[in-house]
């Protein structure tokens, strides 16, 4: 079953002391493009996170944000006072009072509210401790992401299969029309020659030769065979579990090549109409395939 490259997942870990939230968003891209946002001490896990994601997501743009979910580790932290900085603030404030002739007292509340006087110091965390807390929410988020990619892939598969069947049906109508094209040309050519010659009968051998030349030039049997083969391969790819987006892009190019050749060879109005129908479906399919892994 094909997978879409567009999905979203979010998961928060259950570690009470170190709750972490993992947010994943994926978009279509020709190659694997990882964009990680790891806050603070979590940056040491960048290589491990990249390895875990790339093992599950072989293609697409991935935006991954990992952050602390709550005050879990703050319970083990401590609040420190920067006494040297507080004294410096006090001295500068007193100096300001003297220079400007201001009255009033310097309260502790004022000093405590100044920048970096009170500093919360978080407990140091090892890389292994961080990774232990991250593994479960990261795995669950990746599982949910893959489920969504499969779900979106099923919708894409149904849409693509319907369009492939429509193209197959249209190609069958073109194939049925081919013998009529030669007959119609022969009839038009006969009437044109008779109009020019009047009562003189046209040379049957010469007429047959002209019809044979046209039949050879407008023969699209090979293109129809290749078109049928490409469509069958597209249908088989829809059932593949491995990434098939690039293969489908290539096959759609080949289908477009064959239908263009059919259109250029054919001098028949009904066939030309069906070629336009196929090309319209191909354009819609190309847009959909851009989102397939």
Q: Residues 88, 176: one domain?
A: no
Number of domains into which the chain is organized: 3
Q: Residues 165, 63: one domain?
A: no
Residue labelled with tokens 């990746």: 142
CATH number of domain containing 46: 3.30.230
Q: 47 in a domain, yes or no?
A: yes
Q: Residues 245, 202: one domain?
A: yes
Residue 17 pLDDT > 90: no
* pLDDT for the residue numbered 131: 95
CA atoms within 13 A on the CB side of 237: 23
Average per-residue pLDDT for the chain: 86
Q: Residues 169, 132: one domain?
A: no
pLDDT tens for 263-287 read 888 777 888 999 999 999 999 999 9
Structural domain for 51, as ranges: 7-73+126-149
pLDDT tens for 132-143 read 999 999 999 999
Q: Residues 221, 133: one domain?
A: no
Q: 194 in a domain, yes or no?
A: yes
Residue 258 pLDDT > 80: yes
Q: Residues 11, 145: one domain?
A: yes
pLDDT tens for 167-212 read 999 999 998 888 776 666 656 665 666 565 556 565 666 656 665 5
Q: 1 in a domain, yes or no?
A: no
CATH number of domain containing 250: 1.20.120
More reliable by pLDDT, 196 or 24: 24
Q: Residues 87, 142: one domain?
A: no
Q: 165 in a domain, yes or no?
A: yes
Distance from C-alpha of 28 to C-alpha of 10, rounded to nearest angstrom: 19
Distance from C-alpha of 20 to C-alpha of 219, rounded to nearest angstrom: 66
Nearest to 52 by CA among 17, 15, 24, 30: 24
Q: Are 60 and 33 in contact (CB under 8 A)?
A: yes
The long-range contacts involving 253-258, CB below 8 angstroms and separated by at least 24 positions, are 254/226, 254/230, 255/167, 255/227, 255/230, 255/231, 255/282, 256/282, 258/223, 258/224, 258/226, 258/227, 258/230
Q: Residues 99, 181: one domain?
A: no
């Amino acid at each position: 079953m094909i997978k879409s490259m567009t999905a979203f997942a979010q998961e928060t870990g259950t570690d009470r002391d170190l709750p972490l939230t993992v947010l994943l968003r994926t978009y279509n891209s020709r190659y694997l493009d990882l964009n990680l946002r790891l806050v603070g001490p979590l940056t040491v896990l960048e290589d491990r996170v990249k390895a875990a994601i790339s093992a599950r997501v072989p293609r697409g743009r991935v935006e991954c944000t990992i952050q602390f979910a709550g005050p879990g580790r703050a319970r083990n932290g401590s609040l420190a006072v920067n006494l040297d900085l507080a004294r410096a603030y006090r001295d500068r404030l007193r100096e300001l009072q003297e220079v400007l002739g201001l009255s009033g007292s310097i309260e502790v509340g004022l000093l405590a509210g100044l920048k970096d006087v009170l500093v919360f110091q978080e407990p140091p965390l090892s890389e292994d401790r961080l990774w232990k807390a991250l593994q479960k929410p990261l795995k669950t988020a990746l599982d949910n992401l893959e489920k969504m990619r499969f779900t979106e892939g099923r919708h894409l598969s149904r849409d693509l299969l319907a369009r492939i069947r429509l193209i197959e049906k249209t190609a069958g109508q073109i194939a049925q029309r081919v013998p009529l094209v030669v007959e119609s040309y022969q009839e038009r050519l006969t009437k044109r020659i008779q109009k020019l010659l009047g009562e003189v009968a046209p040379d049957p051998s010469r007429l047959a030769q002209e019809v044979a030349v046209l039949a050879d030039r407008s023969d699209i049997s090979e293109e129809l065979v290749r078109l049928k083969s490409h469509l069958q391969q597209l249908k088989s790819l829809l059932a593949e579990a491995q990434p098939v987006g690039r293969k489908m892009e290539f096959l759609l190019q080949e289908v477009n090549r064959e239908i263009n050749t059919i259109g250029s060879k054919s001098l028949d109005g009904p066939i030309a109409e069906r070629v336009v129908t196929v090309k319209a479906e191909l354009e819609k399919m190309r847009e959909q395939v851009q989102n397939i892994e």
